[in-house]
Structure 1
Amino acid sequence: MSNGVRVERSDSTIVIKFVRPELRNPLSLSVLDEMDHALDLAKISGAERIIFTGTGNIFASGADLREINAVEPERVRGFAARGQRLMERIEQCPLTTTALINGACYGGALDLALSCEQRIAVAEATFCHPGTGLGIITGWGGTQRLPRLVGQANALRMFFTASPISASEALRIGLIDAITEDLASCILKS
């Protein structure tokens, strides 16, 4: 484990686990780098599946707001582009990509989940794009992927209200593919 990420291999599956629940599993730049390295590992190791998941009751909280606040105005575009490139890489990955959402999935973490081929959540999971409440908007492709997945009206409601939705609502609108009581069994089914 380093920088808030643990990468594990189980048979033909690479599991990327966010392991800083005390900080709400932020997707810091170092976490993005670790995810990039894990994708490289998956490519050369012959893995067939990549799973993203969190720890505790938090999948991930999105981009690290401390890092966002520290970005100088002339570097904002590059900061956003870094996350966009990674989400595009995940979306275009030839392996099966799955987000196993064990709890709160907010902001850039939702962008990550949207980049995956499959999204499976526990019943207690919540989903939100909190940007309007923070005076920012997602910069990692969520503004494009969310409407394609759930329709424009549902996406706009999520973007403009910044209110969390439940897993049952996420399933109803097509944001997730399934609700499970046992995420561990989903990892074992690889």
Structure 2
Amino acid sequence: MIAVDIDAGRSIRTVTLDRPDARNALTVEGLEALKSAIEDDEETVIYLTGAGPAFCAGADLSAVGDLDGDRERAAEFARLGQRVARAIEDSPAVVVAGIDGPARGGGLEFALACDVRVGTPDSTYGEPGVTFGLFGAWGGTVRLPRVVGEGDALELALSGRTVDADEALRMGLISRIEDDPRAVAEEIAGNADDALTALKRRIRDDRERATQERLEATAFGELVENHADDIDAVLE
């Protein structure tokens, strides 16, 4: 259901959603396995992708059906997905989503939690929940407007429509379109580990500006100290 491959030389952990026959839709067990695969990481970069012709269709609707209309069980299912998204967002590693084919519902929400989203020309994106009376509840209502802005977030979520890679790029839903998204993960992994960690921590910080600026200056000072020789080499 979740496959993990470690490239120790490049310090990249590839986490693959591995249910291609179900477009990599996630059950409770799949969510728990994904959370463990993210949290067990010791590499600099996590590359999150899907097996087969889809990135992820989101929640397995049979798992939703098994909730039997129970409000509290449904809320707990949502909270589990939210914990997975937070694990992705809060990971000390840089998490790169490599999206090929459909990213729908919860699949899109997990991509939104990643630090970098790279789609292939064949990737497509949507929050179709509204078309059958639901909506993405794995943090999508928080992250979607933060990533694309309120206007595009409302239109995409309220219509339930699908957008292609070009429109997703225009919206800011993805950062780049590449035939091989993994190449972006490898590019990022080639940078200094401590600089990547510091950058992610600072850019992700949502505290008040004064605190962010203080911590930013501290992190910059630490990096200048750690990389004094590298700086001198650039200046020569």
What corresponds to 1:62 in structure 2?
58
* AA matched with 1:49: V
What corresponds to 2:7 in structure 1?
10
CA–CA distance in structure 1, aligned partners of residues 83 and 19 of structure 2: 23
Quick one: which of 168, 171, 176 aligns to 2:169?
A: 171
What corresponds to 2:230 in structure 1?
none
- Could you report, residue by residue, the CA deviation over 1:121-172 in whole angstroms, capped at 9, with x for unpaired residues? 0011000000011211111010110011111111111111111000100000
CA–CA distance in structure 1, aligned partners of residues 104 and 149 of structure 2: 19
CA–CA distance in structure 1, aligned partners of residues 98 and 87 of structure 2: 18
What corresponds to 1:41 in structure 2?
40
TM-score by length of 1: 0.92
TM-score by length of 2: 0.75
1:41 deviation in Å? 2.0
Structure with higher Rg: it is 2
Tell which deviates more after alignment, 65-74 or 179-188.
179-188
Number of residue pairs matched by the alignment? 184
* AA matched with 2:161: S
- Could you report, residue by residue, the CA deviation over 1:68-110 in whole angstroms, capped at 9, with x for unpaired residues? 1111413111111111111112111121011100110000000
Quick one: which of 89, 94, 97 aligns to 1:96?
A: 94
Confirm or deny: 8 A CA contact 1:114 1:142 kept in the other structure: yes
CA–CA distance in structure 2, aligned partners of residues 69 and 23 of structure 1: 16
Confirm or deny: 8 A CA contact 2:47 2:182 kept in the other structure: no
Confirm or deny: 8 A CA contact 1:55 1:102 kept in the other structure: no
Higher RCO structure (Cα 8 Å, ≥6 apart): 1
- Could you report, residue by residue, the CA deviation over 1:109-128 in whole angstroms, capped at 9, with x for unpaired residues? 00000000000000110000
Confirm or deny: 8 A CA contact 2:17 2:51 kept in the other structure: yes
In structure 2, runs of 5+ residues without a counterpart are 190-236
Identify the structure with the greater strand proportion: 1
Give the percent of matched residue pairs that are identical in Structure 1 and Structure 2: 35
In structure 1, runs of 5+ residues without a counterpart are none
Confirm or deny: 8 A CA contact 2:96 2:185 kept in the other structure: no
Confirm or deny: 8 A CA contact 1:57 1:103 kept in the other structure: yes
Over 6 Å off, 4+ runs: none
